[in-house]
Amino acid sequence: MNEQLISKIKIPSSGRHLEDVRNFIEKSSRECGLDESQIYDLKVAAGEACANAIEHGSPDDEKNFVEVEFFCGDNGVYVTVKDEGKFKRQAMEYDADGLHHRGRGMAFMLALMDEVSVQGTDNGTVVKLHKKL
Partner 1 sequence: MLQRYNGLVNKKFSYKIVFFGKEKQMIINIAGDDFPIIEIEGEIDHYYAPQLESFVLSTIKNSPDKSIIIDLSSVSYLDSAGVGVLFSAVDLIKKSSPGKSIVTICPNKNVEKILKLVGIQTEPVFVLTEEKEKAISLTKGK
What gap in Å lies between CA 18 and CA 76, rounded to an integer? 23
Least CB distance from residue 97 to partner 1, whole Å? 12
Least CB distance from residue 110 to partner 1, whole Å? 10
If the CB atoms of residues 32 and 54 are measured against partner 1, the closer one turns out to be 54
- Per this entry, what is the length of the chain? 133
Widest pairwise Cα distance in the chain: 43
* DSSP-derived secondary structure letter, 74: T
If the CB atoms of residues 3 and 20 are measured against partner 1, the closer one turns out to be 20
If the CB atoms of residues 61 and 123 are measured against partner 1, the closer one turns out to be 61
If the CB atoms of residues 89 and 101 are measured against partner 1, the closer one turns out to be 101
Least CB distance from residue 38 to partner 1, whole Å? 11
Cβ 53 vs Cβ 10: under 8 Å: no
Least CB distance from residue 123 to partner 1, whole Å? 24
Of residues 74, 77, 53, 72, the one with CA closest to residue 127: 53
Would you tell me which residues interact with partner 1 (CB under 8 A)? 15-20, 22, 36-37, 40, 43-44, 47-48, 51, 54-55, 98, 101-102, 104-105, 107-108, 111-112
Strands 115-121 and 76-82: unpaired
